[in-house]
């Protein structure tokens, strides 16, 4: 599914400043305020806009940031990722090359770092790790980069598989629901109606 140029412009503006009003966005994209409102609602409903957040400058908090490389057996990768995901200090977490874990971790100070490394040492599945201390953050941009004619991959609401072509859209209770094919659409509609009937 392709985003139109106005969607892209709205997303870029909101990525810079999530507090822009629909009126501001309308003025800057050349469409009406109701159009902006319906487009934003649509992008949220699709799950592409995950939320509106506050960006805090961690440098001002004088914290310590490390980049961490973890090695483990490929069969333990999921266990390590699950364990690391639960740690509050872990701010970014990646599986890389299918066999290793890379993380960005922010800590209060050296003592906190020592405590954190002790925790790492106690995780059996980790065979080795090394870390680098960040001495200067030069660039930190939000991860999404939008290109002209940007494609969006939504997962089918019924079978959960990614939809690479145009989805089958079902409008139910004023919201679009995305399905990969007519058969998923039929099954989804049945399930939706059944759940709704039970709730009534
Ligand atoms: Zn499907």
Q: What are the boundaries of each domain within the chain?
A: 1-55, 58-133, 153-200
Nearest-10 crossing angle of helices 33-46, 22-29? 110
H or E stretch at 183:
helix 182-199
The maximal CA–CA distance of the chain, rounded, in angstroms, is: 58
Per-residue pLDDT, 105:
96
Residues 6+ apart with CB under 8 A from 60: none
| pTM, entire model | 0.76
Per-residue pLDDT, 143:
81
Question: CA–CA separation, 186 vs 65, rounded Å?
Answer: 50
Per-residue pLDDT, 56:
85
Ligand 1 centroid to Cα of residue 181, in Å, is 6
Chain-centroid distance of CA 133 in Å reads 25
CATH architecture of the domain covering 1-55? Orthogonal Bundle (1.10)
For the chain, residues with pLDDT lower than 50 are none
Per-residue pLDDT, 69:
97
Ligand 1 centroid to Cα of residue 60, in Å, is 47
CATH class, domain 153-200, is: mainly beta
CATH architecture of the domain covering 58-133? 2-Layer Sandwich (3.30)
Per-residue pLDDT, 59:
79
Ligand 1 centroid to Cα of residue 124, in Å, is 39
Per-residue pLDDT, 187:
97
Per-residue pLDDT, 133:
95
Per-residue pLDDT, 73:
92
Per-residue pLDDT, 14:
94
Ligand 1 centroid to Cα of residue 127, in Å, is 39
Per-residue pLDDT, 53:
86
Instruction: Say if CB 21 and CB 2 are below 8 A apart.
Output: no
Cα 9 to Cα 12, 26, 152, distances in angstroms = 5, 10, 15
- The angle formed by the CA atoms of residues 96, 101 and 104, to the nearest 5 degrees, is 105
């Amino acid at each position: 599914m392709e985003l139109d140029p106005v969607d892209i412009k709205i997303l870029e503006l909101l990525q810079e400043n999530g507090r822009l009003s629909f009126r501001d966005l309308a003025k800057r994209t050349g469409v009406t305020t109701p159009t902006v409102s319906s487009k934003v609602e649509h992008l949220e409903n699709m799950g592409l806009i995950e939320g509106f957040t506050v960006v805090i400058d961690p440098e001002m908090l004088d914290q310590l940031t490390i980049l961490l490389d973890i090695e483990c057996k490929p069969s333990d990768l999921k266990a390590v990722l699950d364990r690391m995901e639960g740690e509050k200090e872990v701010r970014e977490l990646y599986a890389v090359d299918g066999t290793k874990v890379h993380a960005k971790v922010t800590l209060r100070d050296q003592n906190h770092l020592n405590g954190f490394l002790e925790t790492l040492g106690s995780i059996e599945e980790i065979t080795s790790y090394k870390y680098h201390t960040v001495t200067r953050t030069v660039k930190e941009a939000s991860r999404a980069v939008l290109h002209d004619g940007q494609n969006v991959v939504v997962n089918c609401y019924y079978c959960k598989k990614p939809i690479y072509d145009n989805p089958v859209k079902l409008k139910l209770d004023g919201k679009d629901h995305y399905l990969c094919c007519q058969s998923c659409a039929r099954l989804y509609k049945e399930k939706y109606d059944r759940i709704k009937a039970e709730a009534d």
